[in-house]
Amino acid sequence: MFRFLRRRIYTSLVPLFVVLLGVFFLARLTGDPTSLYLPESATQAQREAFRATNGFDQPVLTQLLDYFKGVVQLDFGQSLRTGEDASAMALRAFPATLQLAFATMFLAILGAVIIGCWAAYRPNSLADRISSLLSMTAASIPDFWFAIMGVYVFAILFGWLPTSGVDNGMLSWILPIATLLIRPLGVLTQVVRGAMVSALSAPYVRLARSKGAGDLRVVTHHALRNAAAPALTVAGDLMVGLVNGAVVVEAIFGWPGIGKLMIDAILQRDFAVLQAAVLLTAVSIFVLNIVIDACYALLDARVRDKVKV
């Protein structure tokens, strides 16, 4: 297992390097921050002093080397907008994104297990067909569409829910979570339903029934346990998607997470904050992928045997 984890960590270093390289150059495509942070009346000397203070007057290669030196030291510099340490800003915003993502994934897994098991227990029934249709529809519609419709219907039209921020307690959670929840719930429901249909027709389930096992025990102790491995893999991929999708959702709902921080940094050409936020997000995604792979190897004997080889 340690060999497997070590190999996964090594293979993650190349894409992480590509992400870091990409964000460095893409950030600078947004333009020179000097014109954004200095008034139009600023003299040429003031502009040159601003560029020199922040290292923008250096050749691109020198800036790149300083950037990677900062990555190694976890020192991205200060925010151009607030003067605060960029890493501290990213670390402060990230828990809000994780709370949103984990709450959404918990509800998606819970709902998918209930609906998927119920539909698989009665395959091809009316309830199964309805749940399959709804789950396929939910899985095919992008998050931003649900966000726009949610804001229009529940916030603007009826005024039941706040449109943005976190000042309204649990009410502030409803629209962001509902927006992020619908697609993972639809995808996971299809996966759980398909895995459960196969598991319920397996020989070991028929053997358990012949020994007098009740329906609930057959579903929870036999079929669901073996259907968990493929569902876990998909859940891991969806969790990564939730962290990425939070960028749009947080911007729409004003959620104070890492996604909103990235959007604000792009608009304000705050390179240090953007680079710190992207690195933190990328590392978290790579760690999450490694954890999911390890859990999958523990659950699936076939994968575990390959790991030992």
At 88 the pLDDT is 92
CATH number of the domain where residue 240 is located: 1.10.3720.10
Q: What is the pLDDT of residues 19-75, one digit of tens each?
A: 889 888 888 887 778 878 888 788 888 888 988 888 888 888 898 898 888 888 888
Domain count for the chain: 1
Whether residue 15 is contained in a domain is answered as no
Global pTM value: 0.78
Whether residue 255 is contained in a domain is answered as yes
SS3 at position 85? strand
At 107 the pLDDT is 92
The closest of 274, 291, 288 to 19, measured between CA atoms, is: 274
Q: In which domain, by residue range, is 160 found?
A: 86-308
Six-digit token pair at 124? Answer: 């091809």
Whether residue 41 is contained in a domain is answered as no
The residues near 252 (Cβ < 8 Å, ≥ 6 apart) are 144, 147, 148, 151, 164, 179
Whether residue 297 is contained in a domain is answered as yes
Whether residue 72 is contained in a domain is answered as no
At 120 the pLDDT is 81
Whether residue 138 is contained in a domain is answered as yes
* Sign of the dihedral defined by the CA atoms of residues 86, 88, 90, 96, in that order: negative
Whether residue 49 is contained in a domain is answered as no
DSSP code, position 156: I
Whether residue 50 is contained in a domain is answered as no
DSSP code, position 78: B
At 91 the pLDDT is 92
At 215 the pLDDT is 67
pLDDT < 70: residue spans in the chain: 1-2, 4-5, 165, 213-215, 220-222, 296-309
At 134 the pLDDT is 86
Name residue 78's beta-bridge partners. 85
End-to-end CA distance of the chain: 10
